[in-house]
Structure 1
Amino acid sequence: MRCLYAGILAILLSSCGKSVKTVDDQGVKIAYVDAGQGDTALLFVHGWCLNKGYWSNQMDHFKDRYHVVAIDLPGFGESGKERTEWTTENYGRDIDSVMSQLHLNKVVLVGHSMGGDLCLEAALHAPDRVIALVGIDNFKSINPETPTQKADDARTYTVLKEGFTKAAFQYFQGDLFYKTADTIQRRILTDVANADSAVAIAALQGNDNFEERKNLQAFGKPLYLINSDYTPTDTAALTAAHVPHEVMYIKDTGHFPMVEKPADVNAALDAVMANITGH
């Protein structure tokens, strides 16, 4: 299975037209692929336990018009693990380092799932570089967690530490897959199984205290959401928080629309870029 998956990943990466490169953030290697050129850049950030290969379709779609970059977050994919604290703040700094070292000055950050929070943190680090933030199936509820939800999180971490792969698989078997094709499910579950469990759990815990509502208000620029419709997006909370936003829904898909329905995601992202650039 691992050999088969490695072959599939190699094909996906080669479709971007570029080999894997690296930058360094305080001693940690950050792997990335890029293609295209232009003043405006799209920087893609994957979600929990995934990798840059999940953006291959978007990279191919946009590379003729923009500079496109997809990274492996430290601890995942081909990036390094030379770190002891896996916080949202550190990940935000990683993304900022990539933008700085690649001299990206007009950046649209695109983050899937937990990657949305990491992109928001990076945007707060570099407000002059980031012109817009795009979330892929995230920011569905920006209200602070209740004590009950925090207690549920604590129990989840305990279960993950006792048996990471089994617990993670059970979690992913819920609404996250909805009508997801079996081949995509196997790909995702393979990546979860191969993840460093200590890093994966620490990254979740490191995200616990991130305040989406407050930080979106501090960002102040438009938030574009390309969300699956399998669970609702609390647009009323975004409006009440005075967060400028636009939501586009991908129908009949699960939590991974960029690989489940890439053409629909690309069309929505095309609309976002037309709004941002005026073209």
Structure 2
Amino acid sequence: MFKKNHPNYFYTSDGIRLFYNTNFPPQELNPEKPVVVFIYGLLCSNNHFKYQIPFFEEQGYQILLHDYRFHFASSCDGDLETCNFPNIAKDLHELLAELNIKKTLFVGHSMGVNICLEHARRYPEDVTAQVLISGTVVPPQDIMFDSNIVDITMPYIEAFTKKYPELYKSVWKHSFKNPIAQYAIFDGGFNKKQVEMEFVQLYMKKISELPETLFFHLLKLMHDHDVINHLESIQTPTLVIGGDKDKIIPNYLQQILTKHLPKSQLYIVKNGSHVPQADFPDMINNRINQFTKKTLKA
């Protein structure tokens, strides 16, 4: 993903092995220049920033990518309940300290917004500025697709998975091959005129690599997340981005974030979906870069 990869592993204070990758040798970190830290969303991966990573590398930014506990190349051992927002924030806090990174730009998408806000609340010294894309601090089950249909149907779906665990596991591992499932996600989450189906296919393939129990667990974390009560105490300079055609997280959620985060500004992308950074990468990249140069003097 980088021109020159520097992959490595880091062990957290509670023994979790985290995979991370930088576009610079850690010993050659320039402390005067910001490090862009990408924070992906629910069942997503760093591929959701495939158009941002090369752009910011070309601009000369230092970049840090990592996988959360129970995700991809990081450890999937132990109790899934330890995979929660406070621990995910703590893991990254410890990794930043290990690498001696003190000047950062966090870029979070979807559930990554929850993680960014949790981190900024707990470790404000870590986050110099942040970009929050298509996030919500309201339980997503209550507002996804601008209705409570998810909240109504989810208990039945979860009951089915518990009753037929092997069938659910098989569906989880192989649904990325189903063209109907591919189109449903394509239509629901993306601007079909701007994003190629290959992006969705890779997204679904990466989902199949994750534990099948992760989806309901993470969705419950988002439902119970109480960061909305702490927004006004977060003083991190913030750029909030949303697509005006986001079918998953209604656009007014970005306005709520902007209203209650003291140092925030809002950028709405015309015809942008839930993944505006893939719909209109040039537009998003330039806007983030403009924000970064002004805020961090990068």
- Which band: TM-score by shorter chain? 0.7 to 0.9
Counterparts in 2 of 1:253 and 1:152: CA distance versus 1, 3 Å:
closer
Identity of paired residues, percent? 18
Per-residue CA deviation, residues 26-47 of structure 1 (Å, 9 max, x unaligned), is 2222111111443321111111
Structure showing greater radius of gyration is 2
3-state SS of 2:213 partner: helix
Q: Matched residues in 2 for 1:119 and 1:80: separation? A: 21
Aligned mate of 2:133, from 132, 136, 144: 136
Q: Matched residues in 1 for 2:139 and 2:157: separation? A: 23
Asked if 1:122 is matched to 2:119, the reply is yes
The answer for the alignment partner of 2:103 in structure 1 is 106
The answer for the alignment partner of 1:51 in structure 2 is 45
Per-residue CA deviation, residues 196-215 of structure 1 (Å, 9 max, x unaligned), is 11123212212321124223
Aligned mate of 1:42, from 24, 27, 36: 36
Letter in 1 for 2:15: G
Q: TM-score, normalised by structure 2?
A: 0.76
Residues 46-195 of structure 1 aligned to structure 2 (within 5 Å):
46-63=40-57, 64-84=59-79, 85=81, 86-139=83-136, 142-143=137-138, 152-153=150-151, 155-156=153-154, 158-160=156-158, 162=161, 163=168, 165=172, 169=181, 172=185, 174-179=187-192, 180-195=195-210
3-state SS of 2:5 partner: coil
The Cα RMSD (Å) is 3.0
- Of structures 1 and 2, the one with the larger relative CO (CA 8 A, separation 6+) is 2
Per-residue CA deviation, residues 156-198 of structure 1 (Å, 9 max, x unaligned), is 254156246369x487355312323211121112222332111
- Contact persistence 1:89–1:121 (CA under 8 A): yes
Q: Matched residues in 1 for 2:139 and 2:215: separation? A: 22
Letter in 1 for 2:208: A
CA displacement at 1:243 relative to structure 2: 3.4
The answer for the alignment partner of 2:232 in structure 1 is 217
- Contact persistence 1:157–1:201 (CA under 8 A): no
3-state SS of 1:207 partner: helix
Q: Matched residues in 2 for 1:157 and 1:276: separation? A: 44
- Contact persistence 2:138–2:223 (CA under 8 A): no
The answer for the alignment partner of 1:278 in structure 2 is 297
The answer for the alignment partner of 2:17 in structure 1 is 29
Per-residue CA deviation, residues 24-75 of structure 1 (Å, 9 max, x unaligned), is 2222221111114433211111111222343343232223533211111222
Q: Matched residues in 2 for 1:94 and 1:155: separation? A: 33
Q: Matched residues in 2 for 1:145 and 1:54: separation? A: 19
Q: TM-score, normalised by structure 1?
A: 0.81
The answer for the alignment partner of 1:197 in structure 2 is 212
Per-residue CA deviation, residues 63-114 of structure 1 (Å, 9 max, x unaligned), is 3533211111222221111231121111111221221111111111111110
Please identify, of 212-221 and 104-113, the stretch whose mean Cα deviation from structure 2 is larger.
212-221
3-state SS of 2:215 partner: helix
Counterparts in 2 of 1:80 and 1:158: CA distance versus 1, 3 Å:
farther
Please identify, of 213-222 and 103-112, the stretch whose mean Cα deviation from structure 2 is larger.
213-222
- Contact persistence 1:181–1:260 (CA under 8 A): no
Letter in 1 for 2:63: V
Q: Matched residues in 2 for 1:159 and 1:173: separation? A: 21
CA displacement at 1:242 relative to structure 2: 5.5
Q: Return 5+ residue gaps in structure 1 as ranges.
A: 1-12
